[in-house]
Structure 1
């Protein structure tokens, strides 16, 4: 049993593996989810953007992003919703990085691997030394 402060309101609560906030904040989050879910289930709202969802429901973008990231809100049904890339903040729909950031990291890794291979080749070469005697 671990006592921690709620990250939302600061109240002390017993942390468990199912909730990362106190009971009061958890209930408020559930109410927010219900509000967003009801809004998004209507056929005419399925193409709503994040800004439209926030403005219409009154639920903070941070909380909606939490619903998306933890899988409560499936964005496959909502073509205009996404979440920010962990590196640059561009809006993405899958994974943790946008294609541009993932490509840059892959490129950097390839350069690093090439350099490591080159260092190994240099280290494995046998050196021949010639001396000149008079």
Structure 2
């Protein structure tokens, strides 16, 4: 069992894949439900209206936007910018173009390591076959 401190409140808890304790996680999910329900009834509301009506802080609402749990309706928003190129986005951290570029860069960076692992595996299997064949030759003599 891995024991960690909650990233939100600092309380110790048994780590199960989330950086938050169960109490904070439940609180955040309740806040998200409030925001989601308000936006369902009032589509197109701005962040200040949502915050005042639900009691959820603007910081948490921005976090929900960054996590792609909610998105901004208007294309011309002033809240979220791509963290790579600075263009306005509706949700998340990166625009679509930067996401594609980052995926390409990541696969290119991982490809040489993957090829090296495959080469070592092939080399190892070839060596083991040689040893096996040598063992057979020894038995034949």
Residue ranges of structure 1 left out of the alignment (5+ in a row): 103-134
CA distance in 2, matches of 1:31, 1:4: 23
Match of 2:43 in 1: 46
Tell me if 1:59 matches 2:56.
Answer: yes
More strand by share: 1
> What is the CA–CA distance in structure 1 between the aligned matches of 2:8 and 2:91, rounded to whole Å?
27
| Matched length | 96
Relative to its length, the structure with more helix (as a share) is 2
Matches within 5 A, 1:9-48: 9-17=9-17, 19-42=18-41, 45-48=42-45
Measure, in 2, the Cα distance between the counterparts of 1:27 and 1:90.
33
Gaps of 5+ in 2: 99-141
TM-score by length of 2: 0.54
TM-score by length of structure 1 reads 0.56
CA distance, structure 1, for counterparts of residue 28 and residue 48 of structure 2: 19
Partner SS state of residue 9, structure 2? coil
